[in-house]
Structure 1
Amino acid sequence: MTSSPPPLDATQLGAYFALIEASSLLKHAVEQQLRDAGDLSYVQFQLLATLGDSPTGSRRMTDLADGVVYSRSGLTYQAQTLEKRGLVTRTPSSDDERSITVTISDEGRAVLAGVFPGHIAVLDDLLFAPLSRSDIETLADVLARARDHMRQTPPRSAEPRRRKKTADPS
């Protein structure tokens, strides 16, 4: 017989609800800023920012999907949408014909440059303004530990894709 987990205490419950509410409020403001400044969804921004941060400006779709908690089919749709706008290109991977490589274009970099100042302003105003530097360091540490723990059993959209074993040609 399995026992029920202990109930959350008032502090745990308060932390949970504060995290959810703060996250929702921040995400709403960020999404509005991204729409207004660059006609981007948050996922599209994540894709462009990840590509823009890559030394080559490129990543394989499977690698992008592994880092974003979003369905692979949904991510493919978002990449197609960005490609139609000329913000990325999608090409077959040079090292794996089954993979698609996504590359940020100059226009994609320009859109990122256009949204970043407002994006940073929203984060500074809503998230960081009421916190001290020490608070921010503590928040970063606490959230990184929680995220790393959750990534140990990620949802399917955040799991690294398992590679199929190929038959040994010998």
Structure 2
Amino acid sequence: MADPETTPDTTDEALAPEQLGAYFALMESVSLLQHAVEQQVRAEGDLSYVQFQLLARLAAAGGRLTMTELADGVVYSRSGLTYQAGLLERAGLVTRGPDPEDERATLVTVTDAGLARVARVMPGHIRVARRLLFAPLSDADLHHLGDIMTRVRDHMRALPPRSAAPRRSRAASRDAARAATEE
């Protein structure tokens, strides 16, 4: 296995045939799975894929997250998330309001109607995931896939785009600003 610390990532050399094959297989698999999920959540919940992700993440997090936490979790632009949250709010599936712990943050809360929509869509979502992703895998394959994709995700998040970068807390930002002025 290549050492990411010593393997240059800025080279213009072509990918090896095995790398190119793995890349195309991954991208095609992700596209096929996402397409099937998009069809399922649209048909069973009248939701876009992103809207389903937002509602499902809120439900999994106990019902409340900040807009930044949502954007970071689904790797979606903050402006796009604001638009999607607005659509969900108009549909009565979420509410938005100030975060009592951070006046700069907007807190998104899933409503009972939003939880009911997730509950309605989730069984079909599970069927799609099982049929397309998990059916061809053994238990050992699943373990390896989980390990591999966790490492890939963690590597990608080491230098994330802005929407995926965890936002520093207000205290950390204040401490960094103070340290910069003291130098």
Report if TM-score (shorter chain) is over 0.5.
yes
Is 1:165 aligned to 2:174, yes or no?
yes
Consecutive unaligned residues of structure 1, counting only runs of 5 or more, are: none
How is 1:36-115 mapped onto 2 (pairs within 5 angstroms)? 36-55=43-62, 57-115=63-121
Q: Which amino acid aligns with 1:165?
A: R
Which has the higher relative contact order, 1 or 2, with Cα contacts under 8 A spaced 6 or more apart?
1
Is 1:35 aligned to 2:21, yes or no?
no
**How large is the RMSD of aligned CA atoms in angstroms?**
1.8
The normalised TM-score by structure 1 is 0.91
Q: Which amino acid aligns with 2:117?
A: V
Number of residues paired by the alignment? Answer: 165
Match of 2:149 among 143, 147, 162: 143
Q: CA deviation at 1:165?
A: 2.8
Q: CA deviation at 1:63?
A: 1.5
The normalised TM-score by structure 2 is 0.84
How is 1:20-31 mapped onto 2 (pairs within 5 angstroms)? 20-31=27-38
Instruction: Provide the rounded CA distance (Å) in 2 between the counterparts of 1:9 and 1:126.
Output: 28
Consecutive unaligned residues of structure 2, counting only runs of 5 or more, are: 1-9, 179-183
Q: CA deviation at 1:60?
A: 1.1
Task: Determine what percentage of the aligned residue pairs are the same residue.
Answer: 61
Q: CA deviation at 1:161?
A: 2.7
Q: CA deviation at 1:6?
A: 4.1
Match of 1:122 among 100, 124, 128: 128
Instruction: Provide the rounded CA distance (Å) in 1 between the counterparts of 2:146 and 2:74.
Output: 19
